[in-house]
Chains A and B, each alone.
Chain A
């Protein structure tokens, strides 16, 4: 990324004034700032990680900051997605983010791509950029971003968060490891909770996103020791950073010595979120192992004996609950299922239906015969049956 100095753009007088705290540091200086001005970073996602990252990149004078997102600002984003404000609720995240970034620094160019990153568009989107900043929220896009970075030879400033723990690294540099060297395969769907389900400490993405931005700035300016071959783990509750070694796996299917992945694949399928096309089932196939919120209400109204087991955590239970439900958090099911009557009909319930499906599978595996999963969880219950309760 060290472009010959003479081809770098010059700084205007306004820019010299703005970036003076960089310019007086020999590690950045005028040439480093010109590199930043020529630099192009693509942020995948304008959410928790993308917000602080893009804001600092703009302030630092990275000349082009691309944003990929297709979401709309929601009230529940504002606890951590600081690029958006209360008046932005309902606006496209891209429009909101672009306004904020231009308010911070009108000298930077903000191309926006209102689309979901896909195997069809990723290579073309990434092509003009120097660094890709992965601030996505799901495994298919993580693997897609990684593979596209490896195939194009673009470094990936990676960050990921869950509750109060964050991870960061720089993947896919020329001699460094990639995300697949670390995790060759994704977890099966449902085994790892999402942020919407597990929650996230609002300040956490601030730390991790700014680490990603720091790495992007260092890579573009060509300074310091990048976070390559190192995996940084941050625990906000303990205020503790740990660093683990990462090695490039010679057998890595995408960046190893004999790669088997030479073009982008179907990542939804790779992550088990969609069966292979040939065996795809009709989307609305009725499922005898599930029950809808409306059906559940009708059966309760008829006075049928159904026991509802809420497998969420106690703090979620405090927000809302279905009357008559009993709380047994998912993690406690394996040692508490003896409290349940195997002859009684059980309805397992969580926030959206994922955790309760796991609980139902578990109960069936230990011999329970009459176990239903509440499709859509309590959110669907609130939408369809009891709109007076708050949603989260």
Chain B
């Protein structure tokens, strides 16, 4: 099976051994992300909630389109496609005195 390139955003790179792009197998976005989280188990808690649903502050794009406006996790992936994970980032950046 062909592999698809998944672009990993900066905040999630600690979970992919600092790689900015990784490969995964799958015919749909859902399969691809399942394979991705199998290869990089630390990502799972960041992409899915306790109910196994994609978290709402993490958007997944197939090329330049949000999968929410395609067929969500059933969106088919074709050879040559690029998948991006785009989480929300708050930095502005003063000295964030947040909880961390």
Contact = CB atoms under 8 A, between A and B. Distances in A.
Q: Do A and B come from one complex?
A: yes
Interface of A: 45, 47-50, 69, 71, 74, 76-77, 80-81, 135-139, 142, 159-165, 167, 182-187, 189-198, 200, 205, 231, 233, 235, 238, 242-247, 249, 273, 313, 329-335, 350-355
Which 3 A/B pairs are nearest by Cβ-Cβ distance? Answer: A354-B100, A331-B14, A137-B92
Contact of A244 (B15, B41, B66): B66
Interface residues of B, number: 36
A138 B10 contact: no
Nearest to A93: B94
Interface of B: 9-11, 14-15, 20, 41-42, 45-46, 55-57, 59, 61, 64-66, 68-69, 84, 86-100
A353 B20 CA distance: 27
A81 B91 CA distance: 13
22 contacts: A50-B92, A71-B95, A137-B91, A137-B94, A138-B98, A142-B90, A161-B92, A162-B93, A164-B10, A165-B9, A186-B57, A187-B55, A192-B87, A196-B100, A198-B91, A231-B86, A244-B66, A246-B66, A335-B41, A335-B42, A350-B100, A354-B100
Given A185-B56, A244-B86, A162 B42 contact: no
Contacts of B15: 331
B68 to A, nearest CB: 8
A242 B15 CA distance: 22
A121 to B, nearest CB: 19
Contact of A77 (B61, B84, B94): B94
Nearest to A47: B94
A280 to B, nearest CB: 16
A196 B97 contact: yes
A330 B14 contact: yes
B66 A45 contact: no
Contacts of B97: 196
B14 A137 contact: no
B65 A245 contact: yes
Given A48-B92, A354-B98, 20 more contacts: A47-B93, A47-B94, A76-B95, A160-B89, A162-B93, A182-B59, A187-B57, A190-B99, A194-B90, A196-B97, A200-B93, A235-B10, A244-B64, A245-B65, A245-B66, A246-B66, A273-B98, A273-B99, A335-B41, A354-B99
B97 to A, nearest CB: 7
Contacts of B95: 71, 74, 76-77, 195-196
A187 B87 contact: yes
Given A161-B93, A185-B57, A247 B66 contact: yes
Contacts of B59: 182-183
B22 to A, nearest CB: 14
